[in-house]
Structure 1
């Protein structure tokens, strides 16, 4: 069963990452509302084929963007590394990325600005869409047991390794002794089984995959050490905000309505997943969904920024007022 689930997820999400390398997928455009209708403003949004972005697909499907006068084209990319330059260059209008990539990008001078929330942690350490997984006989039972171990993450120097090391630090463990190993999401379970690493940091559907392969959870690095963590966001460029303030306001309203709709209709979230992924029904049924909040938790972003600086991901913190959504 586990191998079947893993194969299905690998085929669907080979390039899954909210922050790693990747390119825009040729032909992978979903003109969800068709050609721009008369009176509607066309926008293009770069997304990644993961459960976090289900609300925007639902929003288009339910007419929430059309209600705001927007005709949305959703363009699938294999990673945030392809979306960020597409947005800052004006090729796309909006994009999706995790918050650590936004913090790092802004600190390096990229003119990116968060405008709306994406997926958030459920806050439940026992039932979150992200989890550090290990094998039952690994000897890893608590957060501090990760000290001195090899931990697989999809991208080094980003949200997974920084939150894990912070959790170990806060628990009183030797966080500096952890060795992080970069492994693509679809390969995490196999590398864990092979003994390449002692634990892996997975997100759905790979939490479900790893569990089916016999792995057990240690803790959710999204549910702790940062309270009420906003994991990912939708963003645009400073120039786009300055030149198109009304369109940004419409996008934010539609996106928040989509997030609320998704949070209230988890069955519809699961139903929309096959429209932009190749996940099989048995995988979709078992997924733990993110929480779809309607606002970015500023305190959580600021805490992740502090952690990023402490871990050396950024030398100086970016101007958070310029990075975070404007009130």
Structure 2
């Protein structure tokens, strides 16, 4: 038995030496093959359909195949993606749109978008009750409208109302739709993929007034990192983005399986509702020869930037080209 154990130990030692010979630095130091740990800050504090592609990429081991060990962290008002990535608490972040990144950039944060998942998403909208008769933008003249001050939607909807000189009264309602339902206000902001879906699911019939119908385009989930990350770790950025793109593609190809993966992340997930939500996300996910997954360009960012400058949200102007880079998308494709 002693001889047997000695032989086993000797074989293990030889194996380690052989592995070490194939994994050495120029100085002869043995390099261990280990996954690189990265963390991602998601935009909201709950598990929701918009996050599905990231969890699909993780579940299908696309990140592992790239040598990455990825941790996903939910965002909140205190741990928002801009704050957490700018402070280097997280390596990558996801925002509801490029608007927030551009505002952060104007305040000196060295953040750079590396992909936009939803082009022309038209997520921020105005909702009214079905029986209100308020179906067009001009119907909101002198009406009371609920906003979520500080939210990405407010700047978009202010642009819409100001563009057409719609006089109105404002109320800060946050994410509470009880005043709209009780008819204490006439209209309220919403994301099409959240309240725009949730309210009808609760039996509340609504009208939707969309900025896109009035010439204001908005875009959805934006993946970003820091200038330093891009400069010092470009391979990690490319690997993360490549794996994420595979996750998006898999989600588009099989949304039913994707929702099953999402549901495993939180027992509170309503699979039927999140499946409907996912289909809404998928409808506006770039995925064509002209606009491949992750596509973004100067016009998308410049149009958003100009709107924010006009509304006075951005007061310190800068070169829009510095706010995004397509270099990794170009290398991947």
TM-score (norm 2): 0.74
Query: C-alpha separation between the residues in 1 aligned to 2:261 and 2:126?
Result: 27
Residue number in structure 2 paired with 1:92: 90
Aligned position for 1:45: 40
Instruction: Please name the residue that 1:116 is paired with.
Output: 115
Match of 1:153 among 147, 153, 157: 147
The residue correspondences of 1:259-274 to structure 2 (distance < 5 A) are 259-274=248-263
Q: Secondary structure at the match of 2:256?
A: helix
What is the number of equivalent residue pairs in this alignment? 279
Q: Is the 8 A contact 2:62 2:243 kept in 1?
A: yes
CA contact (8 A) 2:82 2:93 kept: yes
Report whether the alignment pairs 1:199 with 2:187.
Answer: yes
How large is the Cα RMSD of the aligned pairs?
2.6
Structure 1 residue 180, shift from structure 2 partner = 4.0
- The answer to which structure has the higher helix fraction is 2
User: How far 1:119 moved relative to its partner?
Assistant: 3.8
Are 2:256 and 2:275, in contact at CA under 8 Å, matched by a contact in 1? no
Q: 1:94 to 1:301 in 2, by over 3 A?
A: same
Q: For residue 79 of structure 1, report the CA deviation from its aligned partner.
A: 4.3
| 8 Å Cα contact 2:125-2:211 kept in structure 1 | yes
Superposition TM-score, scaled by structure 1 size: 0.75
Q: Deviations over 1:32-88 (max 9, x none)?
A: xxxxx9532110001133322211111111122122221111111224862222211
Distance 1:168 1:85, change over 3 A: closer
- Offset of 1:314 from its aligned partner? 0.8
> Matches of 1:248 and 1:110 in 2, distance apart?
18
Q: Deviations over 1:131-187 (max 9, x none)?
A: 42211232311122223323223343x5322322333455xx324x234433333x2
Equivalent of 2:165, from 150, 168, 174? Answer: 174
Q: Which has the larger radius of gyration?
A: 2
Superposed CA offset, 1:228-263 (max 9, x none):
x42221111112222211111111212222222222
Residue 30 of structure 1 corresponds to none
Take 2:313 and 2:135, find their aligned partners in 1: how far apart are those partners? 28
**Stretches of structure 1 lacking an aligned partner (at least 5 in a row):** 1-36, 124-128
Contact 1:59 1:257 in 2 (8 A): yes
Contact 1:119 1:230 in 2 (8 A): yes
Aligned counterpart, 2:224 = 235
* Gap change, CA 1:193 and 1:100, over 3 Å in 2: same
Q: 1:159 to 1:85 in 2, by over 3 A?
A: closer
State the match for 1:258 in structure 2.
247
Distance 1:297 1:216, change over 3 A: farther
Partners of 2:49 and 2:275 within 8 A in 1: no
In structure 2, the partner of 1:8 is none
